[in-house]
């Protein structure tokens, strides 16, 4: 967490996923940063995402250093949010056998030992 990303992490701790949106070229983007990655302008605002999207790509791994064995296999994915940006994340409540590219997902947040930090992950939904 730094001054540039503090609003993002505070929102995540409250169960809300924030994106950035450029007021000059209308691009919505993730990860949150102060400058638009397209036009490089700094006229950007925070945008609360719907929290839904689709699996763009995914993989599954059974070997992750220092990861709890009962949380394996770990399904990692790029999720394309309804607003457009793709977010590198983990999928929960599914396995690589039960999802496919295009599966609808929604965000959920994993609490951490630090109450001010929650990690956004996604799970499949029907829609
Ligand atoms: Zn822009």
pLDDT digits (tens, 9 = 90+) for 19-29: 999 999 999 99
* Interval between CA 61 and ligand 1 midpoint (Å): 36
In this predicted model, what pLDDT tens digit does every residue of 25-82 receive, in sequence order? 999 999 999 999 999 999 999 999 999 999 999 999 988 888 788 888 999 999 999 9
Give the position of tokens 């983990």.
Answer: 90
Query: Which of 63, 60, 52, 66 lies closest to 104 in space, CA to CA?
Result: 52
The rounded distance, in Å, linking the Cα atoms of 15 and 89 is 15
* Interval between CA 19 and ligand 1 midpoint (Å): 13
Looking at domain 6-124, which CATH architecture does it have?
Beta Barrel (2.40)
Q: Could you tell me the CA-to-CA distances from 60 to 7, 43, 69, 91 in Å, in that order?
A: 31, 38, 14, 10
* Interval between CA 51 and ligand 1 midpoint (Å): 22
Q: What is the DSSP string of 35-53?
A: S-TTT----EEEEE--SEE
Across the range 77-90, mean pLDDT stands at 97
* Joined tokens for residue 59: 């993989």
| pTM across the whole model | 0.90
* Interval between CA 86 and ligand 1 midpoint (Å): 17
* Interval between CA 40 and ligand 1 midpoint (Å): 6
* Interval between CA 27 and ligand 1 midpoint (Å): 6
Outline where the chain has alpha helix (H).
6-13
CB half-sphere exposure, 127, CA atoms < 13 A = 12
* Interval between CA 34 and ligand 1 midpoint (Å): 11
* Interval between CA 74 and ligand 1 midpoint (Å): 35
* Interval between CA 32 and ligand 1 midpoint (Å): 13
């Amino acid at each position: 967490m730094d001054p540039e990303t503090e609003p993002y992490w505070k929102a995540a701790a409250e169960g809300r996923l924030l994106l950035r949106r450029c007021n000059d070229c209308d691009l919505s983007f993730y990860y949150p940063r102060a400058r638009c990655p397209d036009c490089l302008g700094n006229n950007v605002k925070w945008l609360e995402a719907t929290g839904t999207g689709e699996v763009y790509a995914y993989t599954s791994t059974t070997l992750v250093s220092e990861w709890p064995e009962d949380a394996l296999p770990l399904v990692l994915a790029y999720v394309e949010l309804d607003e457009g940006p793709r977010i590198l994340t983990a999928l929960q409540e599914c396995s690589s056998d039960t999802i496919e590219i295009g599966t609808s997902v929604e965000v959920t947040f994993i609490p951490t030992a630090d109450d001010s930090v929650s990690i956004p992950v996604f799970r499949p939904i029907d829609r």
